[in-house]
Structure 1
């Protein structure tokens, strides 16, 4: 039982991190762009319109604010951990240090599931935008190779293609790939700004009436749904060992990236629901649809092209995270040593990257992702709640640990963050709860069957 909750030694972990010869290649600007790139994607390009149509109406902007508040509270906890324990394991390592081995294994397993499912679903969204863009140019791909079997196709080949391409890019090394990622993120921000700059002149305030057609219940239901739009900001914490001056740049990067994303989401939601009636936004390409509706076809085409490029940054960020979690768990003996192997030339976890990429490609190409997206949501919320609770534990067990940033008003901020997470969890369906419990049980079986008595390598 004592081994079940054995904690990782903080001082030993910091000494090991200091002794590593990993190259520090990521500055504050790179960290912010990685966070923005991981966060902004299907949330602003797809989810905003769907939630407006189905749950909240124009008040989806308030839904984004509610979710942002919950995420910012959690982000404060991530920022303290990142400044005190700059480790590539992210939330997994934070919880290992504060709550022990078994809980860390479950959270690591939760993160792996969350991001693998997320990258597959994002790849599916990318495929839709590619098809729409090609259609504008008079090119129609065979439906057999652009739809999953349950939708009448054979395989969603574009989704498979983008996952494998991003996997290859990451195996070339962070130093080489970060420049391409930064460019993709800047393009994505550019199309968002273009949409706002053009769309603001076509806002009709009567589209905002009634502002809350589904009532307060709809606003909170919308908040639970758009929470998925903020998944990804925690990806920054997994890059800690490759960040220059992590005690400063990690907390700043996390908070700035999340704040930028929250502002963008609210502005997009207001402009989008002001351009067209929320009833018309039950479409997968809401931004392009709205621009076409007001006669701005040229802008709609640019947004579609930019979305194709920009969403690739989200796939990149998710593929960056999962292999590093697997590598950390492998180092700790919770997974086979295969996952800890890195390329001698660029220190990248090549095997783990290709394994995650292959799994993500299969899921994106063949599986219906609607329910799996909710699974990713639940697993992310569980992780965020655990990190928030871990701050309370770490403050008690490691009061003298050097921290570049401290969560203010402890214990109130972490407790409020936990309560927000619980509230959002209970706004998800019972089926999602069952899938989540099933995934966690698989993690328990892996721990009992392999990782329980293994030692760190």
Structure 2
């Protein structure tokens, strides 16, 4: 046994360390032996992904994306949805094959090696952590809108906006992150119940919006469909890809699902189909009710549509604002959950400190992990403007999705006989298309976003070089 434990350290050089891989069997074994409690069925898993996805773009980012594309924003939603679908199919295959908590980080570890897995995990930290902060900022905007509609008062900018947006501290954004932390500390089952209720409320709110907005529908608002050309449509799709972040949330719950091999693929695909249909319907209703040039500068966009275009007093805006507050609360809760589980998986592999994998025996929750992550996100939400957060999240997500599609192709060749509860149709064509579509949207993002992403990755490589490469659990195991 001693010889087996020390051999990799004697024989493996730097290049070998960077490319060492987890075996699929080892990942499945770790998931089966997980101390996390298995409490979720397919309904809870589907609504976990819907809760993490639905609301982010429609309630928060739509007002920023419409000026980029004009009425073609409807096509942008479809393009972003198709891009997400290719990756969702790949996620479904890998989630049924490797039902752990690490999502695309674990899939990359089994296929592309430790360095790429670290890069993927670092991207996921950007995707999940920064997107929670972005949605929390949107939550604060809708709370302010609701206060103004119901009580005629709003929070001053100094307490409801970050320094870069004319304020000092975004207190509501930090508050919702802390409240989500309190719910998450109670356990996965309790968090799932709260999410089911909130998802029902926000779907009802969006259906209500469509019913009201279609009463003011003007087909002429879609003429011309492409006022800013195909480039504008592509830019809109790249920004709106932020709206699809979260459909992979079910893949982070693999160790808390009762039947992960069967239910994870179903939950991922069902959630994406439902979310895309609602996004397109709401976008058509919003653009039909209000000319696209009036969207510029709006944050609580759907409420603005009802106030400016529909009229009828404050009733509909109040109801929609309540739905938006609930919707963004659900996104904060579920995406924060996913971030914590990914760090849990990375910690179990030794790439981040063991504190992040310590599970409380009564609640089955990684408590210290939850508090540390939530505190960091709360500070981010309080100090950084929405636009910067949204674009940074999109680039990290698209990069991680590319790796998932590549992982499907590699595992089909390397492990063809490993049981799969779902198989991507027309592979490798569909995964290759997923890589291509993600790459297309990546290069539609601005130079500032790429610079920020490069800086983030540089920091990540320093952390890996100083800690992860030396503490990796694979340093004391046989390599694949």
8 Å contact kept, 2:134–2:386: yes
CA distance in 1, matches of 2:450, 2:440: 14
The residue aligned with 1:290 is: 305
Q: Distance in 1 between matches of 2:441 and 2:163?
A: 32
Q: Does 1:415 align with 2:429?
A: no
1:280-327 deviation digits (Å, cap 9, x = unpaired): 112112211111122133111100111111110000011101111111
**How many residue pairs align between the two structures?**
456
1:117-196 matches, cutoff 5 A: 117-136=130-149, 137-196=151-210
TM-score, normalising length: structure 1:
0.97
Pick from 365, 371, 394 the counterpart of residue 388 of structure 2. Answer: 371
- Higher deviation after alignment, 429-438 or 381-390: 429-438
Residue 67 of structure 1 and its aligned partner are, at CA, apart by 0.7
Give 1:311's aligned residue: 328
CA shift for structure 1 position 21: 4.8
Aligned to 1:380: 397
Give, in whole Å, the separation in 1 of the partners of 2:368 and 2:34: 20
- Report the secondary structure of 1:89's partner residue: coil
Q: Give, in whole Å, the separation in 1 of the partners of 2:163 and 2:423.
A: 50
Runs (5+) with no aligned partner, structure 1:
none
The alignment's TM-score, normalised by the length of structure 2, stands at: 0.93
SS of match in other structure, 1:353: helix
Deviations 1:344-363 (A, max 9, x none): 11110111111111011111
The equivalent residue for 1:84 is 97
Per the alignment, residue 255 of structure 2 pairs with: 241
Q: 1:76-117: CA deviations, max 9, x gaps?
A: 000000111100111111110111111111111110122111
Check the 8 A contact 2:53/2:246 in 1, yes or no: yes
User: Secondary structure in 1 aligned to 2:473?
Assistant: coil
Between the aligned partners of 1:42 and 1:102, the Cα distance in structure 2 is 31
CA distance in 2, matches of 1:223, 1:355: 33
CA contact (8 A) 1:379 1:436 kept: yes
What's the CA shift for 1:205?
1.2
The aligned counterpart of 2:246 is: 232
In structure 1, what is the Cα distance between the partners aligned to 2:342 and 2:38? 19
1:197 maps to which of 196, 211, 216 = 211
- The 10-residue stretch of structure 1 (285-294 or 231-240) with the greater mean CA deviation from structure 2: 285-294
Contact 1:49/1:278 (CA < 8 Å) preserved in 2?
A: no
> Which deviations, in whole Å up to 9, do the C-alpha atoms of 1:386-408 show, x marking residues without a partner?
11111111111111110000011
Q: Does structure 1 conserve the Cα–Cα contact (< 8 Å) formed by 2:35 and 2:364?
A: no
Range moving further from structure 2, 315-324 or 13-22: 13-22
1:156-193 deviation line (CA, Å, top 9, x unaligned): 11111110010111011011121111111111111000
List structure 1 segments (4+ residues) > 4 angstroms apart after TM superposition: none
Q: CA deviation at 1:213?
A: 1.4
Deviation at 1:447, TM superposition (A): 1.2
Structure 1 stretch displaced more, 216-225 or 375-384: 216-225
Mapping 1:320-359, distance limit 5 Å = 320-359=337-376
Shift in Å, 1:74: 0.4
Q: How many Å separate the matches in 2 of 1:44 and 1:369?
A: 14
Deviations 1:397-421 (A, max 9, x none): 1111100000111111111110101
The alpha-carbon deviation at position 448 of structure 1 amounts to 1.0
Give the corresponding residue for 1:70: 83
5-14 or 255-264: bigger deviation: 5-14
Q: 1:151 to 1:430 in 2, by over 3 A?
A: closer
CA–CA distance in 2 between the matches of 1:150 and 1:72?
35
Deviations along 1:110-146, one digit per CA (max 9) or x if unpaired, are 1012211111111011000000110112223233211
Tell me if structure 1 keeps the 8 A contact 2:72–2:233. yes
Instruction: Tell me, in whole angstroms, the C-alpha distance in 1 between the residues paired with 2:105 and 2:58.
Output: 28
Alignment RMSD, CA only?
Answer: 1.3
Deviates more, 1:364-373 or 1:165-174: 364-373
Q: CA deviation at 1:215?
A: 2.0
Classify the secondary structure of the residue corresponding to 1:3: helix
